[in-house]
């Protein structure tokens, strides 16, 4: 605002007239030497010591006296530049002072009280800052389902925006607590601490989920060393301890610290800390719940996941598995190798396909795999084994059925001998050293449907470099290809397999799984499982330098 051009001031010495003497805003007239000439009623309330003749420097705040000195330069008859509006505090209020310079060098100062506007603006800026902090905290916290990461984000954001340093205390077992510290430098440190949380004022209550103890009740001197981030310099000046509310049980507690030099926490800051803690607590709880669920799933899933295959008694086994769903790890296909105890005995390899997909089918594969494990002592007689398995499936509440192929495998000199039986499953393929592909002459009924089942067993001899391949229909029925709508098919599998003569078992399963997956070209598919049983080409490493086989196949 520029009011310099029309001076409302009357000539010098003229008494305050009604035009501004009774104005609601304070008005002070001062001369070029810095003495008060006149002031109105409103101004007398603001500057109670000011009387005509008094020096401004003695009766008014410094910022005003200084502004007047600049505006009313001695000797200046007319200001060369428009006088500027100034701001400053008088007591607990803030004013804008608008000068208008009269021809004789007197300056009339018009004061506008803008305390409320300033407070409103400050409150708005504060709210914006807090909203930004909360929004930032939200997106950082929501992005992770990892407990440690969430605690890290909480500690870092709290140290950055709410205090000088922050400590996130996770609920512990007994005296052991996991603490996440962040100091003024923004470095986050995790530490396990053996401590009695009751020694830290307010912490025990916060961890039990009680309302927070007000900051002013906490004696900073009572804060134990383990609750202070290592890089907080100087003694603790003020502390806020607030619970991190969780799903029913507290997710932990947040300790905010300021060193002695800085200001104490205001009530507003404490309320805001609680708001922040509510969001952080929700995120940490969600992450903890996810971690617990993931741990349960991992434990339950472990038995359903396809096993890592390796060489057993001089026979190479390799397997590959891909579940139908993008996010699934298990499905209705399965395989196992049950190694023989001794070199001369037969190992049992099984590959099968339960009708259906997903977790439900996987549960049935688990049942079949367990049953077969229990029936291992009878594995010499495939027909008896399948009969017992069939009986157990028919008597169970599962209404699904399964097809499987099994083989008893043993090493005979440099060759490998397999007794192969199919129970309603595609017979395995054999690739000879010269690239000729054969089909094992075995067939039989699927299991889990008929009371009486039959099957025939074929004997297959593998010379070094030859491989017997077990696979599920997820491979042969993979739909796609360059034209998009063709089945991968048995013929294509046989042609591919023919090129695999002499390849190591794991290279074969990888190659076939790769080609089938690429054939799909990203399209949907059934579960896919492949197992290769090979007579190794070269002498085994174990025979070369005496190391155990397991060290080489990891």
Binding site for another protein (CB under 8 A): 139-140, 143-149, 153, 287, 290-291, 294, 326-327, 329, 481-485, 495, 499-504, 506-508, 510-511, 514-515, 517-518, 521-522, 537-541, 544-545, 551-554
Q: Find the shortest distance in angstroms from Cβ 145 to another protein.
A: 4
Q: Would you call 412 helix, strand, or coil by DSSP?
A: strand
Q: Can you say how many angstroms the Cα of residue 513 is from the centroid of all Cα atoms in its chain?
A: 32
Which residue's CB is nearer to another protein, number 152 or number 473? 152
Identify whether the C-beta of residue 116 lies closer than 8 Å to the C-beta of residue 42.
no
Q: Would you call 536 helix, strand, or coil by DSSP?
A: coil
Q: Find the shortest distance in angstroms from Cβ 430 to another protein.
A: 16
Q: What CA–CA distance (Å, rounded) separates 130 from 88?
A: 27
Which residue's CB is nearer to another protein, number 118 or number 149? 149
Q: Can you say how many angstroms the Cα of residue 191 is from the centroid of all Cα atoms in its chain?
A: 20
Which residue's CB is nearer to another protein, number 13 or number 522? 522
Q: What CA–CA distance (Å, rounded) separates 407 from 386?
A: 12
Which residue's CB is nearer to another protein, number 173 or number 551? 551
Q: Find the shortest distance in angstroms from Cβ 518 to another protein.
A: 5
Q: Find the shortest distance in angstroms from Cβ 131 to another protein.
A: 16
Cα of first residue to Cα of last residue in the chain, in angstroms, is 81
Q: What CA–CA distance (Å, rounded) separates 523 from 518?
A: 9
Which residue's CB is nearer to another protein, number 13 or number 482? 482
Q: Which DSSP helix (H) or strand (E) runs through 178?
A: strand 176-182
Task: Give the tokens for residue 387.
Answer: 């009969």
Distances (CA, A) of 536 to 193, 308, 468, 504: 54, 18, 12, 7
Q: Find the shortest distance in angstroms from Cβ 278 to another protein.
A: 20
Q: What CA–CA distance (Å, rounded) separates 42 from 24?
A: 6
Task: Give the tokens for residue 273.
Answer: 């800390």
- What is the number of other CB atoms lying within 10 angstroms of the CB of residue 523? 12
DSSP label at residue 461? E
Q: Find the shortest distance in angstroms from Cβ 474 to another protein.
A: 15
Q: Find the shortest distance in angstroms from Cβ 292 to another protein.
A: 11
Which residue's CB is nearer to another protein, number 28 or number 462? 462
Q: Would you call 168 helix, strand, or coil by DSSP?
A: strand
Q: What CA–CA distance (Å, rounded) separates 168 from 175?
A: 16
444 closest CA partner among 393, 382, 395, 394:
382
Identify whether the C-beta of residue 439 lies closer than 8 Å to the C-beta of residue 429.
yes
Q: Find the shortest distance in angstroms from Cβ 136 to another protein.
A: 9
Task: Give the tokens for residue 542.
Answer: 């174990």
Q: Find the shortest distance in angstroms from Cβ 70 to another protein.
A: 46
Which residue's CB is nearer to another protein, number 156 or number 258? 156
- Between 382-394 and 358-374, two packed helices, what is the crossing angle to 10 degrees? 130
Task: Give the tokens for residue 110.
Answer: 């018009």
Which residue's CB is nearer to another protein, number 67 or number 509? 509
Which residue's CB is nearer to another protein, number 129 or number 547? 547
Q: Any residues with CB less than 8 A from the CB of 303 and at least 6 apart, and which?
A: 366, 369
Q: Find the shortest distance in angstroms from Cβ 435 to another protein.
A: 9
Q: Find the shortest distance in angstroms from Cβ 149 to another protein.
A: 5
Distances (CA, A) of 242 to 132, 154, 228, 260, 383: 21, 13, 15, 20, 68
Which residue's CB is nearer to another protein, number 335 or number 401? 335
Which residue's CB is nearer to another protein, number 321 or number 335? 321
Which residue's CB is nearer to another protein, number 192 or number 222? 192
Q: Would you call 423 helix, strand, or coil by DSSP?
A: strand
Q: Find the shortest distance in angstroms from Cβ 169 to another protein.
A: 19
């Amino acid at each position: 605002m520029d009011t310099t051009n029309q001076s409302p001031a009357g000539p010098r010495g003229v008494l305050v007239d009604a035009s501004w003497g009774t104005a609601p805003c304070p008005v002070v007239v001062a001369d070029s030497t810095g003495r008060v000439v006149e002031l109105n009623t409103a101004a007398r309330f603001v500057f109670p010591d000011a009387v005509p003749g008094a020096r401004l420097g003695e009766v008014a705040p410094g910022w005003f006296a200084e502004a007047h000195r600049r505006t009313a330069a001695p000797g200046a008859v007319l200001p060369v530049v428009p006088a500027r509006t100034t701001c400053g505090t008088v007591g607990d209020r803030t004013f804008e002072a608008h000068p208008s310079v009269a021809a004789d060098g007197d300056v009339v100062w018009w004061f506008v009280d803008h305390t409320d506007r300033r407070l409103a603006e400050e409150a708005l800026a504060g709210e914006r800052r807090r909203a930004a902090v909360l929004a930032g905290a939200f997106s950082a916290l929501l992005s992770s389902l990892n407990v440690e990461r969430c605690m890290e984000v909480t500690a870092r954001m709290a140290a950055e925006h709410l205090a000088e340093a922050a400590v996130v205390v996770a609920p512990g077992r007994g005296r052991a607590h996991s603490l996440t510290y962040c100091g003024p430098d923004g470095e986050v440190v995790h530490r396990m601490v053996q401590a009695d949380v009751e020694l830290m004022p307010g912490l025990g209550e916060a961890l039990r989920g009680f309302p927070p103890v007000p900051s002013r009740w906490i004696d900073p001197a009572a804060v134990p060393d383990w609750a202070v981030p290592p890089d907080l310099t100087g003694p603790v000046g003020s502390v806020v301890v607030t619970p991190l509310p969780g799903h029913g049980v507290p997710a932990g507690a947040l300790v905010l610290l300021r060193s002695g030099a800085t200001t104490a926490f205001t009530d507003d800051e404490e309320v805001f800390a609680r708001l922040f803690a509510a969001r952080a607590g929700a995120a940490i709880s969600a992450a903890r719940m996810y971690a617990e669920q993931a741990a349960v799933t991992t434990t339950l899933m472990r038995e359903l996941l396809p096993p890592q295959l390796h060489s057993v008694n001089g026979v190479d086994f390799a397997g590959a598995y891909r579940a139908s769903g993008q996010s699934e790890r298990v499905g209705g296909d399965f395989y196992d190798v049950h190694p023989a105890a001794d070199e001369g005995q037969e190992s049992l390899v099984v590959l099968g396909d339960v009708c259906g997909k997903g977790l439900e089918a996987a549960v049935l594969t688990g049942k079949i795999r367990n049953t077969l494990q229990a029936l291992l002592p009878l594995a010499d007689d495939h027909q008896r084994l399948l009969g017992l398995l069939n009986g157990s499936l028919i008597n169970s509440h599962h209404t699904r059925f399964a097809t499987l192929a099994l083989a008893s495998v043993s090493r005979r000199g440099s060759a490998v001998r397999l007794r192969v039986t199919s129970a309603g499953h595609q017979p395995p393929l054999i690739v000879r050293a010269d690239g000729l592909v054969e089909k094992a002459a075995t067939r039989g009924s699927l299991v889990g449907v008929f009371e009486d089942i039959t099957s025939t067993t074929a004997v297959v001899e593998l010379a070094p470099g030859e491989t017997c391949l077990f696979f599920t229909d997820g491979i042969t029925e993979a739909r796609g290809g360059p034209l998009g709508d063709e089945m991968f098919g048995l013929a294509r599998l046989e042609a591919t397999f023919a090129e695999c003569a002499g390849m190591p078992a794991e290279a074969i399963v990888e190659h076939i799984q790769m080609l089938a997956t690429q054939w799909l070209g990203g399209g949907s598919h059934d579960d896919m499982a492949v197992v290769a049983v090979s007579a190794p080409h070269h002498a085994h490493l174990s025979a070369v330098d005496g190391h155990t086989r397991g060290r080489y196949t990891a």
